[in-house]
Chains A and B, each alone.
Chain A
Amino acid sequence: MLFRATRLKRLIGAVTAATMVTFVAACGSGEDASDGTVTLEFAQWWGAELPAGEFDKIINDFTTENPNIKVKLLSAPYASTKQQLLTGAASKTLPDVVGLDGAWVNDFAKQGAITDLSKLMTDANYDASELASQVQVDGKTYMIPVVNFVYPLFVNKDLLTKAGVPSTPTTRTEFLDAAKKISASGGDVKGWVLPLDTAVPNGVQNDVMSWLWASGGSMLADGKPNLTSAPVKSTIEYVKSLNDAGVIAPGSLTMKEQDKVEKFTNGQVGMMIDSLAHINLIKKNKPDLNFEVAALPAEDGFTGQRGIPYASWGIGISNSTKHKAEAFKFVSYLMSQQTNAKLSTIANGFPGNKTAEPDFGNSDPLFKTAFDIYQQGYPANEFVGLPKSEDLMRSFAEQLQLVLTGKSSVDDALAKSQENWSSVIE
């Protein structure tokens, strides 16, 4: 019995010791060194999206230029980034510099989690005229888009030819017609794909509202929701007509963006609206897929400028950081002409600095096409900067699901959405 007891005691002792060691070891890491070097923590999901090691190179160039500033990259899975930032902000432990999506800005700004960049720009005498855009809340800048990803129409040319469609559709009527022909051309192939999953409801922005913006329409009027307007109605009725024609790939109601891309890549759908960032992925997975990008079809007879939806990798600075000046120095480095051009080239996006030219030399010719489309139209994403924008998209997605399953009329759904949105956007 005594033997047992001592053995157990030894075991407990060992476990305690091990625990203590890990504890002490873990506490060793961290905080600022005493020699005046500042360590900036930069939470983002970009590094994982870029070719391995490329982002580190860009960071290293910065730290070589600024030996007294160190940058520590913290990466989190994209799907959890927002939740992590929110949790960190609640305990004032937000990293110094944070990667942002335009859809989150309003909420983080209101929470007091991210700081007013306008003030930092003034303090640093920064020339903001180079910036392609700034995301503002109540007239103050909280996020700067670093790289923009536009969402053109992707068309599988082989499927189009097989279905007997002579050219890439440029109007809604042509698109419906092409989608019908592709869906009728056999196999399980469908004309279009619409991801309407409500967990990540960005399909509303990229695949539904994009139709509205492409025809110069707007879902807002003076910053207030305007969902019962004729342009919105015609957009939703158009999506419904595509659904009624049976040209949308099955599984729409819980489909996610990744599924959309995979279905297009595997030739199961003929056309999709998608981020340009996916070109390399598609080419890597199916090198012989014959596809092109084009401007989104507009309403018949529309001659104005077409809005082209986009999403951004944005950047912001924590409100609780002790190193705001250093953090802004890092931000302005990322926005500088040269760095921004380099970053957007490797990310397959368009630069957030107006004067930066992406290097088309080594990239796919489709990028040049897309860049031309981008320059002919204007970047349009009305969800950027709205409060609770993810929630707005979700409630709209739910109403649209009701329409597509025949449980609600377009008018009722839009009236309900208008009501939902009005209670959020004051």
Chain B
Amino acid sequence: MTLTAPETSTRAAPAVPGRSRSTLARRLVPYGYLSPTVLLIVVLMVVPIVMVIGYSFRDNVIVQENSVFAGFANYTKVLTDESFLAALKNTGVFISVSTLAHLVLGLTFAMMLNSPLLGGVTKAIFRIVYILPWLFTIAVIAVIWRLLLDPAGVVNHVLQTLGLIQEGVNWFSDPGMALWAVTFVNIWAGYPFFMISLLAALQGIPNDLYEAAAVDGTNWFQRFFHVTLPQLRPVIISMAVLDLIWTSHQFALIWMTTGGGPLNATEMLSTFTYKQAFSEYEFATASAAAVIVLLLTMVLAFFYVRSQRER
């Protein structure tokens, strides 16, 4: 098994004095650590991705046996498709607002849950309450929010009873409201990811940093911006990258609440691709759209890798 590779190479080390250890073996150490990952990702991820890239240059893939090379035709088709451009724009709004809100809510909740002012039991109870949205599969989240936000549902009922609105709001079916409604639901469903990771990261900040800052007579805001945030930075950047990518994959939530409608108001790259593939049977254009998303994400990956180096 590949996992043993780093072990053998390093276990031999203590026997020989450190400096005379073979340089080749030492150079191979990191690759040993990486080998299981690389093996899995290459076999199970890179292979299908290469196939998708292959599809994107052909015509009539999958649904017909003799597909032909089509050059960049699928790319031209996708890039000139109005719904694709609308989907790109909606996805941009959806993922950036979601990620920002996840970060702000996750950080706020994590800091409150980490506050030294509160007792252990209070914190434990709130911790449970705060992770609740996390526990449910996305199909159920979509269903429960459809019930809550139904025109005759409980949210409208409560708002009407409180006199905040006169008429029931069509949260999901009003073209001007739908995108914000699905974004809200996604924010609700996703913040615990940030919260939990940041809560764990907050524990890792050495106390003496705060003590030193307190000795310097700093206030809460200064400590937050000069100690907490810089310490959390690697975790925040990593999570933001992941969340941007994951949110762009969010399919079931949108499909099961608005289906991309009304009037394409919530059409995302994910729903666009799905419709292309499984409703229009245009796997080639779906693949081309996927490759475009891949290229866009590589830009993100580039910035992520750069941020890692700066450390």
Contacts and interface: CB of A to CB of B under 8 A. Distances in A.
B279 A197 contact: no
A200 B263 contact: no
B152 A263 contact: yes
A112 B281 CA distance: 13
A61 interface: no
Contact of B279 (A12, A90, A252, A394): A394
B151 interface: yes
A268 interface: yes
B63 A5 contact: no
Contacts of A249: 151
B112 to A, nearest CB: 35
A199 B255 contact: yes
A12 B7 CA distance: 12
Nearest to B83: A398
B279 A5 contact: no
B278 interface: yes
Given A254-B173, A405-B263, A111 B256 contact: no
Interface in B28-50: none
B158 to A, nearest CB: 15
Interface string A379-401: 00000000010110010011001
Instruction: Report, nearest first, the 9 A-B pairs whose CB atoms are least far apart.
Output: A199-B259, A253-B262, A250-B151, A253-B173, A251-B151, A254-B173, A198-B261, A254-B172, A251-B173
Interface residues of A, number: 37
B260 interface: yes
B292 to A, nearest CB: 21
Nearest to A259: B150
Contacts, number: 90
A255 interface: yes
A5 B281 contact: no
A255 B11 CA distance: 63
A86 interface: yes
Given A200-B259, A253-B173, A259-B150, A398 B264 contact: yes
Nearest to B153: A251
B137 to A, nearest CB: 13
A407 interface: yes
A9 B6 CA distance: 12
Interface string B261-278: 111100000000001001
A250 B173 contact: yes
A119 interface: no
Contacts of A401: 261-263
A82 B255 CA distance: 15
B165 interface: no
Nearest to B264: A398
Given A111-B63, A250-B151, A16 B281 contact: no
B272 to A, nearest CB: 12
B165 to A, nearest CB: 13
A188 interface: yes
Contacts of B150: 251, 259
Interface in B141-177: 146, 150-152, 168, 170, 172-175
A5 B11 CA distance: 9
Given A111-B63, A253-B170, 15 more contacts: A5-B7, A12-B4, A188-B168, A197-B258, A197-B261, A198-B259, A199-B256, A250-B168, A251-B172, A252-B173, A254-B172, A398-B263, A398-B264, A405-B175, A407-B263
B62 A391 contact: no
Interface of B: 1, 3-4, 7, 11, 62-65, 146, 150-152, 168, 170, 172-175, 178, 255-264, 275, 278-281
B281 A107 contact: yes
A268 B152 CA distance: 9
Interface string A80-105: 00110010001000000000000000
A107 B146 CA distance: 31
B79 to A, nearest CB: 19
Contacts of A407: 263
A12 B3 contact: yes
A188 B151 CA distance: 10
Nearest to A250: B151
A226 to B, nearest CB: 22
11 contacts: A110-B64, A111-B281, A198-B259, A253-B261, A254-B172, A388-B280, A390-B279, A394-B275, A394-B279, A401-B263, A407-B263
Contacts of A83: 278
Given A12-B3, A83-B278, A86-B278, A188 B152 contact: yes
Interface in A406-425: 407
Interface string A173-189: 00000000000000010
A352 to B, nearest CB: 27
B257 A254 contact: yes
A289 interface: no
A255 B173 contact: yes
B33 to A, nearest CB: 14
B178 A254 contact: yes
Contacts of B264: 398
A199 B259 CA distance: 4
A214 B63 CA distance: 35
Contacts of A390: 279
Contacts of A251: 150-151, 170, 172-173
